[in-house]
Structure 1
Amino acid sequence: MAEFTGFPVAALDFYDDLEVDNTKTFWAEHKEIYDESVRKPMTALVALLEGEFGPAKIFRPHRDVRFAKDKTPYKTNQGAFVAKGPSLGWYVEVAAPGVLVGAGFYEASPERLAAFRDAIADERRGTELEKILAKLKKAGWIVGGDRLKTSPRGYDADHPRIDLLRHKSMSLSKSYGFEPVIHTPELADQIRRDWRAVTPFIDWVTATGP
Structure 2
Amino acid sequence: MTQSKTFAGFPAEAFSFYEGLEADNSKTYWTANKDVYDRCVRAPLTALADELASAVQSEPKIFRPYRDVRFSADKSPYKTHQGAFCEVASGVGYYVQVDAEGLFTAAGFHAHSRGQTARYRAAVDGDDTGAGLDKIMRTLARQGFAPSGDRVKTRPRGCPADHPRLELMRHESLVAGRRHPAGPEVEGRAALDLVRTDWRRLRPLVEWIEANVGAFEEG
Length-normalised TM-score, structure 2: 0.93
Q: Deviations over 1:144-198 (max 9, x none)?
A: 1221112211211111111110101111111111242100101111211110110
User: How large is the RMSD of aligned CA atoms in angstroms?
Assistant: 1.1
* Deviation beyond 2 Å, 4+ runs, structure 1: none
What does 1:9-158 align with in structure 2 at a 5 Å threshold? 9-53=12-56, 54-158=58-162
Q: Percent identity at matched positions?
A: 42
The alpha-carbon deviation at position 209 of structure 1 amounts to: 3.5
Whole-Å Cα distance in 2 between the matches of residues 209 and 63 of structure 1? 29
Give 1:13's aligned amino acid. S
| 2:164 counterpart of 1:163 | no
Give 2:19's aligned amino acid. D
Which consecutive unaligned segments of at least 5 residues does structure 2 have? 215-219
Q: Deviations over 1:19-73 (max 9, x none)?
A: 1111111111110010000011001101111111211110101111111111111
1:171 aligned counterpart, secondary structure: strand
8 Å contact from structure 1 (residues 107, 168) kept in 2: no
Whole-Å Cα distance in 2 between the matches of residues 158 and 52 of structure 1? 40
Whole-Å Cα distance in 1 between the matches of residues 204 and 183 of structure 2? 26
| 2:211 counterpart of 1:191 | no
Which consecutive unaligned segments of at least 5 residues does structure 1 have? none
8 Å contact from structure 1 (residues 23, 73) kept in 2: yes
- Provide closer, same or farther for how the CA distance between residues 10 and 179 of structure 1 changes in structure 2, counting only shifts above 3 A: closer
Give 2:32's aligned amino acid. E
Whole-Å Cα distance in 2 between the matches of residues 25 and 37 of structure 1? 19
Which residue of structure 1 lines up, in the alignment, with residue 217 of structure 2? none
1:61 aligned counterpart, secondary structure: coil
The alpha-carbon deviation at position 82 of structure 1 amounts to: 0.8
Whole-Å Cα distance in 2 between the matches of residues 151 and 194 of structure 1? 30
Deviates more, 1:157-166 or 1:145-154: 145-154
Give 1:4's aligned amino acid. F
The alpha-carbon deviation at position 107 of structure 1 amounts to: 2.7
